[in-house]
Structure 1
Amino acid sequence: MRTLRHRTCGSADASSRVLRSLSIWRTQQSTRTKSISDRPVGPGQDDMQREFETSKRISRDRVLAAFRFIAPDEDIDLAEAKAPKTILQYASVWRLYTQWCQERGFSAVPASPAQLREYLRHLQGLGHSPSSLDSYLAAVAAVHRYRGYRVDRTLLIEPLKAARRRAGPPRQARALMGMELKKVVGGLKADHPRDARDAVILLLGFACALRSAEIVGLDWQRRGSTLAGGTGTLGFERSGLLVVLATSKASQVTPVELPIADREMPSLTVWVERWVALAQIGAGEPIFRPIDNRGRILARRLAPPAIAEIVRARMLAHAKATGMPETEAILLARAFSAHSLRRGYCSTASEAKLPLGQIRRRSRHGSDELLARYIRTAEGRRQSGLGKIGF
């Protein structure tokens, strides 16, 4: 039985617009940090807020109904070929697409290349990002395959390229590097429930290169009900901690084990022990939960968007604590997201010269090319290409 260890672990107009924007963002950030991740949801509040503050509970019946909607003539067992959220996304897109077709007198199936081009113009008119455009069109193509048709997307290649060029490079979250994370966590108080919870979120997300959905989906020691949104577990083993992802983005079927040895990250074990004790978390229960304004730890599970809010709020507080001017601190915090933990692990591991294969096993990237985007950033800062020729 482990004993708990307590540790404190241009122009004037342009400038005016920037400051006004920062002021609005600061107010929103303060409000959202409290209302999104920590405000209790009572029975009288609307369902949309409830779904945001807790992980969405996806029942099998709901997924099967969605699959039957998009593939009425297919074997229902094929629904198992995709993640539940993917099936629901396909159904949502297909509903919007068929409505668009009806309003214009088009037949939804099969869609001609010209019709898809017109639909793309419609989506662009709604202001969707290039990645959203890809998702919509991929969903339409997938439903066509379910119904025995093949979509010709040749006419969409150039318009999609143009959309990406107009949008510019996608925004990338700033990596939360290991040494910077150590300083952030070092300023938190072990006897403060919100500090203890956030410390575990930050350290665990970094140590296992976790996505936000993977973080909030963890149950303590063993899996609870899948209807409660659990997708994995965190528990003690002889050498330290063990994260088991029963389902994840890169592995829908095969569980993934991510060990964290005490000797490699002792601070995480201390914070986990403290948080579990403060929250009185039982086996099979969600680990990460909202905390209301009175400091009450609620029983339900945090939703994935809350992780980004927590990361930004902690970075903002840390920047202010170091004496950074408020405007600069706000700009800095805005550069971070939940993905900063995952990027931070990859970049920190690269700077430590860990082998690419070892980093990928931890990060679970689908290919070396995807991981290389992180590695190139870290390598480029460490080795600029000047070598010994600079003067």
Structure 2
Amino acid sequence: MASDPTGTLRPSPALPDHQPPALRDLAERARSYAEAASSANTRKAYAADWKHFAGWCRREGLDASVPDPQAVGLYITACASGAKSVGGRKNAVSTIERRLSALVWAYTQRGLSLARRDRHIATVLAGIRNSHAAPPRQKEAILPEDLLAMLETCARGTLRGLRDRAMLLVGFAGGLRRSEITGLDAGRGQTEDGRGWIEVLPAGLLVTLRGKTGWREVEIGRGSSAATCPVAALETWLKLARISQGPLFRRITGQGKEPGPLRLNDREVARLVKRAADAAGLRGDLPEKDRPALFSGHSLRAGLASSAEVDERFVQKQLGHASAEMTRRYQRRRDRFRVNLTKAAGL
């Protein structure tokens, strides 16, 4: 890997022109495989982190190309303390840990090694965690009654409303991430940027996804009512939008009358959830300015985990979690105070 003057990581240069064409083709293919090893969002975040570090090094007169644990220790100290050299803003512990991971990854791509366990890094990071770590700020879970209210805000007589209803219901029932929702195609192998596809079966919807740990299947059964059935909502969207090929969820064009060819950006899922939650009056007990921060695309995923009254292992499988502990982090209110140890102890 190499970097441009801004510090952004770029793929390694191609083989010289005098090399056989077959080797140049293999080099191009190798670069595409290397990029496929991580998601586009991860690469984008890592590139931004490297640029941030490289800029700090320039301002401090340090060489970013050399993996110096002492320099990295000073860098994460600057990030934690909000030094002027990093913009004067304190970074959260999770942000600092991600920046450190980005540096390790970047140096590895260059054939170098950053000793993360070196005392200049490990000890400083431990101190940062002890001094600045805070409980995670989880987004509010969208529970079934919340979802029903949100669906009523989606106009049934418009393509946009039908699309939004299908996205909310499929995202909730599948426990899908926002990138998984917008990355779906109408069939297998239809686009290069697709992250999966759907198959409509008599008993429900089979979703095949390419995730962080490989391919997995998600089963979305038909609902008890046509008004709240995710499969019925999706079938209606596909029929009226006349979609049988390519991206499943698309932008609406032609003054709201035609689906465009382009796939929705995954940020649109978060915007939809926030917009529908606000229109439905969710958490109306809070000031209006505080409500948008409560909800995100993950609120649908957390809602399924928090409301599905089934064995935890089925929820874990649906969400694609490697451990039950991760699944429990998504369960917001379902189990709160269900087991009362105070009364169980006789008080």
Three-state SS of the structure 2 residue aligned to 1:290 is: strand
State the alpha-carbon separation in 1 of the partners of residues 145 and 346 from structure 2.
28
User: 1:348 is matched with which residue?
Assistant: 307
Matched, 1:156 2:105: no
Residues 89/66 of structure 1: CA separation in 2 closer, same or farther (3 Å cut): farther
Structure 2 residue corresponding to 1:107, chosen from 48, 63, 88:
63
Distance 1:385 1:378, change over 3 A: farther
Aligned pair partner of 1:261 in 212, 221, 227: 221
Aligned to 1:359: 315
Task: Give the deviation of 1:379 after TM superposition.
Answer: 0.9
Hey, what's the Cα distance between the residues in 1 that align with 2:289 and 2:240? 31
1:99-248 alignment to 2 at 5 Å? Answer: 99-124=55-80, 125=82, 126=87, 127=89, 128-146=91-109, 147-151=111-115, 152=118, 153-162=121-130, 164-165=132-133, 168-186=134-152, 188-226=154-192, 229-245=193-209, 247-248=210-211
For residues 207 and 217 of structure 2, the distance between their equivalents in structure 1, rounded to whole angstroms, comes to 6
* 1: CA distance, partners of 2:68 / 2:292: 46
- Residues 163 and 110 from structure 1, CA distance in 2 versus in 1: closer, same or farther, beyond 3 angstroms? farther
Distance 1:362 1:68, change over 3 A: same
Structure 2 letter corresponding to 1:149: S
Distance 1:223 1:163, change over 3 A: farther
> What runs of 5+ residues in structure 2 fail to find an aligned partner?
1-8, 14-29
Q: Is the 8 A contact 1:178 1:348 kept in 2?
A: yes
Q: Secondary structure at the match of 1:102?
A: helix
- Cα 1:158–1:316 shift into 2, 3 Å: same
Amino acid at match of 1:259: E
Q: 1:170 to 1:201 in 2, by over 3 A?
A: same
CA deviation string 1:155-189 (max 9, x = no partner)? 33234314633xx3232110001232134325544
User: How far is 1:201 from its partner?
Assistant: 1.0
Letter in 2 for 1:241: L
Contact 1:201/1:215 (8 A) holds in 2 = yes
Q: Partner letter of residue 222 of structure 1?
A: R
- What SS does the aligned partner of 1:175 have? coil
Note if contact 1:113-1:155 (Cα within 8 Å) is conserved in structure 2: no
Aligned residues: 307
SS in 2 for 1:358: helix
Q: Is contact 2:223-2:230 (8 Å) kept?
A: no
Q: Deviations over 1:197-241 (max 9, x none)?
A: 111111111111111111111111333221xx3211123123221
Superposed counterparts of 1:1-391, under 5 Å: 66-68=10-12, 80-124=36-80, 125=82, 126=87, 127=89, 128-146=91-109, 147-151=111-115, 152=118, 153-162=121-130, 164-165=132-133, 168-186=134-152, 188-226=154-192, 229-245=193-209, 247-248=210-211, 250-251=212-213, 254-262=214-222, 267-283=229-245, 285-291=246-252, 294-296=255-257, 297-319=259-281, 328=287, 331-349=290-308, 352=309, 354-375=310-331, 377-387=333-343
Change (3 A) 1:328 1:381: farther
Task: Report the secondary structure of 1:170's partner residue.
Answer: coil
C-alpha distance 282-121 of structure 1, shift in aligned 2 (>3 A)? same
* Higher RCO (C-alpha under 8 Å, 6+ residues apart): 1
Matches of 1:390 and 1:344, distance apart in 2: 33
- In the superposition, the TM-score normalised over structure 1's length comes to 0.69
Query: Aligned-pair distance for 1:314?
Result: 0.8
The structural deviation recorded for 1:383 is: 3.5
Query: In structure 2, the residue corresponding to 1:257 is in which secondary structure?
Result: strand
2:18 matched residue in structure 1:
none
Which structure: greater strand fraction? 2
- Report which of the two has the higher share of helix: 1
SS of match in other structure, 2:12: helix
Deviations 1:272-330 (Å, cap 9, x if unpaired)?
122112322132x212222359324332111111111111111111128x9x58x7566
Going from structure 1 to structure 2, the CA distance change for 1:143 and 1:329 (only over 3 Å counts) comes to closer
